Amino acid sequence: MHVTLESRWSCGQCHFAGGKSDHLRATLDRVAAAHPRTSSEGQVPVVRDLLVHLDRSAGRLGTQVRTGLRDAVRSGRLPAGFRMPSTRALAQSLGVSRGMVVDAYEQLVAEGYLTSRHGSGTQVTSACAAPQPADSPATSPVVPITHDLKPGVPDLSTFPRGPWLAATRHVLSTAPHTAFGYPGPSGAPELRSALTDYLGRVRAAQVRPEHIVVVNGVAQGLSLVSQALRRMGRGVLAVEDPSSNRQRGIFDTHGLELAYAPTDSEGIDVAALARTGARAVLVTPAHQYPTGVVLSPSRRAELIAWARASDALIVEDDYDAEFRYDRDPVGCLQGLAPDRVVHLGSTSKALAPGMRLGWAALPAAMIERIHDLKTHADLGSPVLAQLTLVRMLETGGYDRHLRAMRAHYRARRDAVVEAIAEHLPAARVRGIAAGLHLCVELPPGTDESATVIRARALGLRIEPLTPMRVLTPGPPSVIIGYATLSPDRLRAAVRLLARSVLP
């Protein structure tokens, strides 16, 4: 059935009217992009009209209304959060009875496509925003994610807005005009100097300001290092198995070939790494991603010995090292071999990933190359955020925030560990000493992917470990990011996980 939608949106400043379906799709896209659902000025797009074109000669008008609206939501033409017109207004504009529209709304609420709340009308459910697989039955319910344990995100509600605002205000009122020129591709000298102190103090790094390049997160650091490795004739990068599958796209983009070295309870297997023949390796020594293992002292020594013996480079992804709970702090690898290690870190876990602010501490031999690549990438990272971070570091605001966050996340981690012991006693929890995620080894014989699918059907999102493995099989496991939910909600999430685990 061909359905045409027509809509008019108003934000008080302008007005759009749509016609036939293709045009409408473009119009809705344009309007959605131009008008966020709720802006800081409190503007909310107001739906004045929404037309479902009906074929009156075909009969079954009620079904046509229901199907037309459902298709519009499923295809994404009505975006998540879209405020549906009142049943009276829609019935009037479609020329059908109000009861027909009420029935359609009720059916779509029951199916999970719409949400109806007293006082705020009917809206498209946020979980419906993603397009559905073409073959899923038209009536399959879309279960919203109620417990999201996807790793990688800190608790965004704890961003230190007050201290950051005070630091920004200080920078804006004291920095000379010249500070707002191009920052230089390596970053603001003040930040490189402050990071030298910070990384030496907190991570036992051995750096000088001229060895630091400020980057837009570890991701950009990896991108620049990948390009540099290719140009240095090191086209094969060894990575840990398992490791972050999201990062593999970066290496692929820059034409690096990957080799895989297995990890065990002490971290990367250095003998297996040596057998790959690679002359560069990416490791996560402070908290292996995803298993959470801390690289043991003997493996650290072996890894550095391997790098020296084979003229190799170690890329150290220090992505969540600020958070440690039950163990003494472990210094970074870079501090043991500054000539062999590229150290990458960022504020993504300590503050928020949206900052896109990080650093690379480089061996002397790579500085010029990375400096050039950063110049060609973007002429340097935004300067205001850099100077604000300097102020946070100098006033102790950054350290105070981290101290508070360690206690905050520790309580969350404890809640997960205790709940797993209670509700899933046959599971083994790994990697709990540091970071913002842990690894749950499911009871032997558990079907990992079926568990993840069942969990999703209950509104729980967890990450399976198997897609992060390449060559080395391992026990069925899932990764739990515990940073974003309160201890109570984490306990509820673990109960859902326990319900999802079937042998």
Ligand X SMILES: Cc1ncc(COP(=O)(O)O)c(C=O)c1O
Q: For the CB of residue 368, give the shortest distance to ligand X in the complex, in Å.
A: 23
**Separation of alpha carbons 234 and 236, rounded Å:** 6
Q: Which is nearer to ligand X, 72 or 295 (CB)?
A: 295
Q: For the CB of residue 221, give the shortest distance to ligand X in the complex, in Å.
A: 7
**C-alpha closest to that of 390 among 204, 187, 102, 229:** 187
Q: Which is nearer to ligand X, 273 or 479 (CB)?
A: 479
Q: For the CB of residue 276, give the shortest distance to ligand X in the complex, in Å.
A: 20
* Sole residue written with tokens 């905050």: 408
Q: Which is nearer to ligand X, 154 or 474 (CB)?
A: 154
Q: For the CB of residue 77, give the shortest distance to ligand X in the complex, in Å.
A: 32
Contact between residue 429 and residue 227 where contact means Cβ atoms under 8 Å apart: no
Q: For the CB of residue 417, give the shortest distance to ligand X in the complex, in Å.
A: 21
Q: Which is nearer to ligand X, 105 or 319 (CB)?
A: 319
Q: Which is nearer to ligand X, 441 or 463 (CB)?
A: 463
Q: Residue numbers of the site for ligand X (CB under 6 A)?
A: 152, 217-219, 244, 284, 289, 317, 319, 346, 348, 353, 358
E strand or H helix at 317: strand 313-317
Please name the residues in contact with 320: beta carbons below 8 A apart, sequence gap of 6 or more.
286, 287, 349, 434, 435, 436
E strand or H helix at 383: helix 383-395
**Separation of alpha carbons 238 and 332, rounded Å:** 19
Contact between residue 258 and residue 276 where contact means Cβ atoms under 8 Å apart: no
Q: Which is nearer to ligand X, 32 or 250 (CB)?
A: 250
Q: For the CB of residue 250, give the shortest distance to ligand X in the complex, in Å.
A: 10
Name the closest residue to ligand X (Cβ): 217
**Separation of alpha carbons 7 and 52, rounded Å:** 9
Alpha helices in 204-247 (DSSP H): 217-231
Q: Which is nearer to ligand X, 289 or 306 (CB)?
A: 289
Indicate the DSSP class of residue 295: P
* Residue 460, strand partner residues: 147
Q: For the CB of residue 218, give the shortest distance to ligand X in the complex, in Å.
A: 3
Contact between residue 437 and residue 481 where contact means Cβ atoms under 8 Å apart: yes
